[in-house]
Structure 1
Amino acid sequence: MYHPQQFDELRKQEDPLADRAVMDLINFPELSSEINLWEEIPSKIPAHFPASLHLFFEDYNNPATSQERKSLIQGQAFFNKRGDTYLAMLGFYSLPYCYAFANGAEVLVRSKRILEDSGKRLGETAKFLLDVFKPGAFIDSYQAFLTCAKIRLIHAYSRFFIHHYAHDWKPEFGKPINQEDLIGTNLAFSLLVVRGMRKVRATVTKEESENLLAYWKYLGKLLGIQTEFWPETSKEAFVLEQLIRKRHLRNSAAGEKLIQSLLSYFEQNQKETFLKGKSEALVSFLVGKEASQALGIHSEPIFIPEVVGSIFKLLGWKNYAGNQSHARFMKEFELSYSNQFGEAVQIHLPEQKRS
């Protein structure tokens, strides 16, 4: 099904279409500022944009197939009901799990914004999820195409700066933000979310789980991932995650720095007194013993599945009074972010000034 040799090759592969586009954005930085003003990808790309950017944005012109539309509608309905738990799993499970993979963590630790502005980076990731799961996204509303395009270009910016300025980058890390790491991150945002929900005794059917995989296959295509390697079934996803885990899950200084930065943010902003001082234990419970050891964090016997499940249910009722919906999730998120940082959350391309 999946072979290590395939993934050795994927570690050497990046995203040529986005990488060529970013080379021109570096040379013409005013174009990044122009893109940041868009609300969606225009139907006609401005004539003064170079060919690389025309080709890049044309990659978003293909309408969803009937099967993809079905998966999008079902996935958005799932998020509309379960988005609060989905977003909680993002912070307490998906991101920490990604940090436990040593080579991939080497890219993230080189971003001062992740280490020094954990809250803003977490907010941007939540904004991405809320954009791509908005009811009607990719079908009746097109803003999410631009969100995906920006994330893809931000990845390419990171690769550019690592290639040109990270003199301590080692060949054994693989190419920065390579295809294997992109696939692994997509698994963390799909398979691992479902696994986390089931850990806290939330019911997720096989049909819902496999539809989320289909949803993230569609998103993967928009994020520049080679989707021929993406799993179609829960069994395939399990096998793929096990392969990537065996290849890369291990302790690293990079992973420890990242998780400590995230845990520090959680503790500084924890409003629930009964969870104060418990962020590390909660993350450890969700990611499991092996990943906890890789991250250098410790668990406490205070958390069992029923307790954690009750905590998430309690917080859901407290925050949404049983009225869960995408609109409510978005409203509460934007209000919380604005109160904390004094600004609206934005996913923006880096804006470089000409030297």
Structure 2
Amino acid sequence: MTDERWTNEFLDAMREQCDPPADEAVRSLFAQGMVGSANGLMKQLVAHESVTAEQLPVPLRGYFEQSAKLPSWADKELIREGQAVFSRCGPLSVVALVCASLPICYAGAEGVQVLHMTARLQTDTQRRIVETAQMVVDVMSPGGLEHDGWGIRDAQKVRLMHAAVRHLIRQSGRWNPEWGQPINQEDMAGTLVTFSVVTIRALVKLGYTLSAREAQAYYHAWRVVGYVMGVDERLLPESFEDGEVLTDVILGRVLHACPEGQAMTKALIDLLEHIIPGNLFDGLSSTLIRYLVGEKTAELIAVPPSDWTRALVKPLKLLGWVMDESDEQNIVAEKLSELFGRKLLEGIVWVGRGGERPPFRIPDSLRETWNVRSREQQL
């Protein structure tokens, strides 16, 4: 039964709503022929360079000033506690991102159309993973959601990019109105909960037990990000428990099989196999995705079949963590998944965004806590 706050009628209406402040800023940029200036700004933001108000194109000044403001309900202590959770389980959070959050997004048959339209599957999959992981690190690092923190900047940048994509897709004539508006409010909220609720659920399945306070803190930090990114507050429930309800309602509506989502998933799995060094974890990406998203969703996005126990036992034996067959019944998923997450982070650090884009960065304090080697240490 659909929660009376988030009925099908309400969510159908949200599929026709987007983000007026960001959309108007982008419309003004195009109307005034200032897209080149905006592209230069985006490169500065990606490079983590500071940008003054005077450097901003005029149509963007109001947007950046207004969108940097946190909501009145933002709780700084809760945000810090949520970031502390991330500090303790960062590698597992990255596993949750690439093996749960992104695959579930790809199972959203209408929302994934935007990703597929804008993707060159080989090059863009790598860039999307790296830049999404960078945003997660920036948001959840200490100070990331403080005034002018890099998490705030990332959220503002992504919000503006969404508006630009909407503008270009509408002009392309390729969009099917039956999908709702491109990057609409329901799809924005659905994506947001994959970073909060879906990640928290995945962490539990990976063996990391969160207290009710920790779950609420982690969720609250991403709720604040959702506000900065222009998500309607009616789609930002206050409590983690209500966030879980909204998650299940939205996912129950939008998850369907489609060729585009399956192609995006295949590109993701292929990339994960490529960027993780060695062959110790071969096949584990598919196994983890099936385990974290569930068999039903895995079938929608055509994840290759796998045997969770057999896939885990081989690497654990090679590492000396499983000494005899009787230990197979007591495999601890967290231990292997955390190692997988560290190797994945090192792979992301190594491959970066590609081209002339700046490298992936992890604050030294987090890198040391997670025992993740820098690019220089990998040489």
The TM-score by the shorter chain falls in which range? 0.7 to 0.9
- Per-residue CA deviations over 1:140-167 (Å, capped at 9, x if unaligned) read 65333222111111111111111001x3
Asked if 2 retains the 8 angstrom alpha-carbon contact of 1:100 and 1:251, the reply is: yes
CA distance 1:339–1:57, change in 2 (3 Å): closer
Could you say which residue in structure 2 is the equivalent of 1:309? Answer: 334
Match of 2:57 among 49, 60, 68: 49
Q: How far apart are residue 109 of structure 1 and its match?
A: 0.6
Query: Unaligned regions of 5+ residues in structure 2, if any?
Result: 313-329, 362-379
1:216 to 203, 222, 246: 222
Q: 1:225 aligns with which of 223, 226, 231?
A: 231
SS in 2 for 1:274: coil
Deviation by residue 1:294-318 (Cα, 9 ceiling, x = unmatched): 11224322348945323113446x7
Structure 1 residues 140 and 80, CA, compared in 2 at 3 Å: closer, same or farther?
farther
**Structure 1: runs of 5+ lacking an equivalent:** 321-328, 348-355
Aligned partners of 2:269 and 2:54: how far apart in 1?
42
Indicate yes or no: 2:337 matched with 1:337. no
Q: Does 1:25 align with 2:32?
A: no
Q: Which residue of 1 aligns with 2:66?
A: 59
Q: How does 1:136-155 map to 2 (within 5 A)?
A: 136-139=143-146, 142-155=149-162
Do the aligned partners of 1:74 and 1:211 also contact (CA within 8 Å) in 2?
yes
Letter in 2 for 1:284: R
Kept in 2, the 8 Å contact 1:334–1:345? The answer is no
Q: Is the 8 A contact 2:139 2:151 kept in 1?
A: yes
2:16 to 12, 27, 42: 12
What SS class does the counterpart of residue 237 from structure 2 fall into?
Answer: coil
Q: Which runs of 4+ in 1 moved over 6 A?
A: 339-342
Higher relative contact order (CA 8 A, sep 6+): 1
Matched position secondary structure for 1:260: helix
- Please, what is the CA RMSD of the aligned residues? 2.7
1:236 match: 242
Q: What TM-score do you get using the length of structure 2 for normalisation?
A: 0.79
- TM-score norm. by structure 1 comes to 0.84
Whole-Å Cα distance in 2 between the matches of residues 342 and 21 of structure 1?
A: 27
Distance in 1 (alpha carbons) for counterparts of 2:160 and 2:200: 28
Deviations 1:206-261 (A, max 9, x none): 11111122111110111111123212223212221121122111100111111011
8 Å CA contact 1:64–1:139 kept in 2: the answer is no
Spell out, residue by residue over 1:99-148, the C-alpha distance to the aligned partner (whole angstroms, 9 max, x if none).
01101111111112455431121001111111112211232653332221
Deviates more, 1:132-141 or 1:77-86: 132-141
- Describe the shift of the 1:319–1:192 C-alpha distance in structure 2 as closer, same or farther (beyond 3 A): same
User: Residues of 2 paired with 1:216 and 1:128: CA distance?
Assistant: 11
> Could you tell me the percent identity over the aligned residues?
27
The one-letter amino acid paired with 2:237 is: P
SS of the residue corresponding to residue 103 of structure 1 reads: coil
Q: Corresponding residue for 1:267?
A: 273
Q: Which residue of the partner structure matches residue 88 of structure 2?
A: 81
Counterparts of 2:295 and 2:348, CA distance in 1: 34
Which residue in 1 is equivalent to 2:202? Answer: 196
SS at match of 1:232: coil
Pair 1:134-2:141 in alignment: yes
Shift of 1:190: 0.6
